[in-house]
Structure 1
């Protein structure tokens, strides 16, 4: 009789279930106690916790712990399921079966998929059955649970496929586990290193914006982990639907590549760091390149000079090459002539790549749009201010007039001429151009204000820019529920609820803000009082403004309403003031008044102490935020608090006479 051999070998499946079934059990129990069991415990509470619209991804169901299981368990499955590849005896035994290597591989893959999907599916069934017998709409919906099933199944299979792919590349199980996570994080890590590299060389490049807006698209793990199960941000699912389809496709690609590598993999590769010798040069170059970029980033952050950055490239690249060589040769004895030649070769190759990256962005650095190409422009002191508008669904206050747009372009051109990406100043400049063709252009610079003072002044004094600097100018009074005016010096302050008084206050405040000069905007006089707004029932908004004594209309209104002493800091509120002579020998790192004050206090320099109320009153004429001056004044409001509330400064000509006489 003719023998028949089935293409399916249930004994291999059964053996896999015995060997790695524990991973599936742990996965099931972990998800069960985090999700269904947590739901049952909520049913038993006398006062159930407040739920939110995030469903199974909310704080009640500990999405962060779910993510941890989702990331770790598939990797463990891949490591232990293909452990036989990395042990020579087990590898020889497994491949001695009368079965083609591809068929053996597919059996193990099928085992892993069943053992990983089963825990997810069983927990999903528990959730569905629970929804069928009781009302769970406060906690989740069937659509939410179905998305949870889809998300966990897709991401589990992706991470498992990545682990299997790495397992076919290496001959050591520990290396497989580590390299799997490195592979999944590698794109985002490289992206971040290159973004920092470009930020250090290319004027106008905004690494903050680039990373914030697209980093999640370079790693499925980051995409998972950046989701928050709490907070006021708009509710959304952890991973977008389109991304799930993409991740499913990537999982298939990993599977196809794994099959091909498995068939080509030599049996004697067990115990080697890389099973495919042809990949050794690629691995060495990649590790050398990544560590070189990391070393350059570390030393540039610490020292802010190109010489130290280059030193970091050399040190980091050397360490990376040595680590890669030790891993591949499985010994620390890699310091020999052969590896010295290799270090030079790979170092030169990595250096060429590092040097070439900024060259590709030279046109980006020098580009400034023409005025007739720009529809409108937004300028602020940083990307995060711009992003905050989007986070609160606020309309962006663009500059639209031709004269103001040209002033912004003039400022942009000056920034290109005087800025140095590595020599970061105190002031940020962030540009968003909306072009006539519908495209957007982003640029960010960091430089000291005094280098672009004239160009900055022409922009700041336009009414359109003031609507950017002070979002409260565009705030509809009818949307304000409450005003909170509280000096930081410890006075009680004042809260306004009366719509009529709120309206009157906003009228005089807007008058003062619209009349501010450039100097009053960047270096205001006196001690401020913070004003926060409750708008449409929430305080989570960017409507915040500081009141200064120079706001004449507002101060007059506060006095008429009898609030001035409560709202603004008085001389009687100051416990003491300390006056220092501003040393002219300090470098640019100590240009801000508070930084200079901290340096002087650290040097135990004896200040002029002022407690007389009349003299303290004259000290309120000092300016905030100036980067140079003749004298510093630190105000203290609590004798038990060693930190001052504010540090102001005076120029020589503006200082009170008693200060000049003391320091003569």
Structure 2
């Protein structure tokens, strides 16, 4: 039986031999925490920052979201893992350690916990000193201690995971350098596989959605401890509303325990003769080599395809990747150049497997681009017309635990596909069938790279099939406008589609505080709910706008374009805006308060009427009787930067009232043209101009664009003349 005193004496003596690692850890954490925080507090004492901002900064620095500390701990996990178990790679040290009257079990756990104890103790000590410095400087400890100790616990847990992986790589190998390389393989191999497969999806499949059909990237942090650590730093912080935080923490704990037990099991199985060899277990050699060679061969073939789009060059890349990777690994395994082509049969098998994968993508052997689910297997569908709603702010305003407001952003495509469930899918499936049929006209066997040759506009759209078996399938397609327009109109006229793509339609009266209007850079508060005084008007505006936006059809959007934008601020947005006004800051929370503007069309008569009741003169937006001059911008007809700066040279003025009326009848407000998904914008067919609306000090310049065919021949001739002069 091993005595407890001997066990702890050995633990203490082992720690004495690691003074250098203790010193390194102390220096890193000393300058990261006590010194950095002391500098921060000295700035606060000089009045260079407000108190709340200082406390918020302290919490960010001491909490789990500190990326610098994450980087230090990842580095330390490698250093400590190598130093604590490097004795396994020396015959003399192995004999010495195993000659000590302590069981191999205790030897392993002494070394293992030593690697966690040293950085943990140094980190904790410096954290206590830092909190003490903050307390002496007048910062209430309750405001920072919770975040600091939570950050400490999470960082040490994630460090233990990374450290355990390093220990595994050291036990698997018999050489320090090979052990470090093994650590890199265990950390990054799966991520490299996912990246290469995503590249293959994007390169060879014309219907791929987001690389790998949207599912591969979801596995990135589930297959790599390093990626899991980095991802958690961005997701596990106070105030983050996203669910699954407990699951992520438990996953880190489970991976740590599994790696530690696996390392211990390998340690017990490891023979004494393994020291000095590249790999401690012969059976692990092909298990590691074959997947690396397959990945290298596939990477080589895809790389040369991306350069020349040729099957011949892809074969060359595959052979290069196979031979080079197999040869290098064999040299590392045996420390002998003569072993370059040992196990050549495994090399050939690896090359063939890589070739099968490459051909599967290149020639679509499994029918990825031809896939259309059976009608009776579909529960519902979701469709995102790419770039049609890029201007919509998807997400929600949030307030974190430190009282800071922020916008919880959601990608537009992700939001639409995750929230839409269309039961009426006839138009969508018609589009899909047309797109798949067009894709089949393009032979996957051609070596020439594919280029779309279409005249005019084309629609790109992504579809999510929600199947009855619970599976979701993603695809992306494209079609020329002439083939897709009718189905696109039918989709835009679908109430379920509109309800999803415009989050304002789901906003409630209870969560609406202010209404703001914006036109040509000028923003006005139309209705502000102050103790309920404007509540009725705010609610009327919201309900009227929701009704008219919901009833906005494609034919109306073909005839009209927005003339202004309106924002229905949520209560949290209003809080952020009020706080910004209180702080008299032009930038504080601006990204929260400025989001959520929607277009106002001329046909929105209920909304325009209510705006008039609020004192907004909306008639002037469509009344051109006061316009005395149109000034066409000269940047359209000269590229000479010197002449462009001479305003007298570049402006073409139109003052004839009849021509002004004809132009304005076809003009649109340039600022809002992109908010209309049915507005076809061709820069070469448009003329940009400005007019002054209003009178006196309230006048403002509004920028318009108009088709060139709306201009008189004299004006077009003058533009051409100036262009030639420029």
Change (3 A) 1:292 1:516: farther
1:455 aligns with 2:492: no
Match for 2:220 among 212, 215, 220? 215
Measured in 1, the distance between the counterparts of 2:509 and 2:477 equals: 35
Match for 1:576 among 616, 623, 633? 633
Q: What is the 5 A alignment of 1:283-322?
A: 283-295=288-300, 320-321=325-326
Show the counterpart of 1:591. Answer: none
Change (3 A) 1:565 1:646: closer
Deviations 1:60-81, CA, capped at 9 Å, x for gaps: 7862222223322122111122
Q: What is the 5 A alignment of 1:276-287?
A: 276-287=281-292
Deviations 1:34-73, CA, capped at 9 Å, x for gaps: 4577777777754534378999666778622222233221
1:536 aligns with 2:571: yes
Unaligned residue ranges in structure 1 (runs of 5+):
581-596, 602-608, 639-644
8 Å contact kept, 2:157–2:253: yes
Deviation (angstroms), 1:396: 9.4
Show the counterpart of 2:531. Answer: none
Show the counterpart of 1:562. Answer: 617
Match for 2:652 among 611, 614, 617? 611
Show the counterpart of 1:407. Answer: 427
Measured in 2, the distance between the counterparts of 1:571 and 1:232 equals: 58
Deviation (angstroms), 1:252: 3.4
Change (3 A) 1:109 1:58: closer
Deviation (angstroms), 1:347: 1.6
Deviation (angstroms), 1:163: 0.8
Deviation (angstroms), 1:342: 6.5
1:247 aligns with 2:252: yes
Match for 2:79 among 68, 76, 79? 76
Measured in 1, the distance between the counterparts of 2:546 and 2:244 equals: 43
Show the counterpart of 2:186. Answer: 183
8 Å contact kept, 1:631–1:650: no
Show the counterpart of 1:380. Answer: 384
8 Å contact kept, 1:217–1:223: yes
Deviation (angstroms), 1:458: 1.5
Deviation (angstroms), 1:22: 3.1
Deviations 1:390-409, CA, capped at 9 Å, x for gaps: 8579999966785x343334
Measured in 1, the distance between the counterparts of 2:196 and 2:341 equals: 31
8 Å contact kept, 1:368–1:409: no
Show the counterpart of 2:205. Answer: 201
1:48 aligns with 2:51: yes
Deviations 1:413-466, CA, capped at 9 Å, x for gaps: 4444445899798755344566677x3634241424525333222211223322
* Bigger mean CA offset, 123-132 vs 77-86: 123-132
SS across alignment from 1:274 = coil
Deviation (angstroms), 1:167: 1.0
Q: What is the 5 A alignment of 1:490-529?
A: 491-492=521-522, 494-497=524-527, 513-514=549-550, 516-518=552-554, 521=557
Show the counterpart of 1:633. Answer: 686
Match for 2:353 among 349, 364, 375? 349
* Bigger mean CA offset, 163-172 vs 468-477: 468-477
CA RMSD in angstroms, aligned pairs only: 5.7
8 Å contact kept, 2:297–2:320: yes
Change (3 A) 1:157 1:579: closer
Q: What is the 5 A alignment of 1:125-204?
A: 135-141=140-146, 147-148=150-151, 150-198=153-201, 200-201=204-205, 203=207
Show the counterpart of 1:274. Answer: 279
Deviations 1:109-150, CA, capped at 9 Å, x for gaps: 343343344335556777999999995222243xx5664454
8 Å contact kept, 1:494–1:566: no
Unaligned residue ranges in structure 2 (runs of 5+):
397-407, 453-457, 529-533, 574-591, 642-649, 692-701, 721-726
* Bigger mean CA offset, 144-153 vs 124-133: 124-133
8 Å contact kept, 2:293–2:321: yes
Change (3 A) 1:471 1:307: farther
1:620 aligns with 2:667: yes
Show the counterpart of 1:589. Answer: none
Measured in 2, the distance between the counterparts of 1:28 and 1:506 equals: 58
Deviation (angstroms), 1:203: 3.7
8 Å contact kept, 1:407–1:455: yes
Change (3 A) 1:477 1:11: closer
Show the counterpart of 1:258. Answer: 263
Show the counterpart of 1:606. Answer: none
Deviation (angstroms), 1:11: 6.3
* Bigger mean CA offset, 253-262 vs 291-300: 291-300
Q: What is the 5 A alignment of 1:5-84?
A: 6=3, 8=6, 12-28=10-26, 30-31=28-29, 34=32, 45-46=44-45, 47-50=50-53, 63-84=66-87
Change (3 A) 1:520 1:268: farther
- Number of residues of Structure 1 aligned to a counterpart in Structure 2: 621
Change (3 A) 1:52 1:191: farther
Deviation (angstroms), 1:23: 2.1
Change (3 A) 1:436 1:506: same
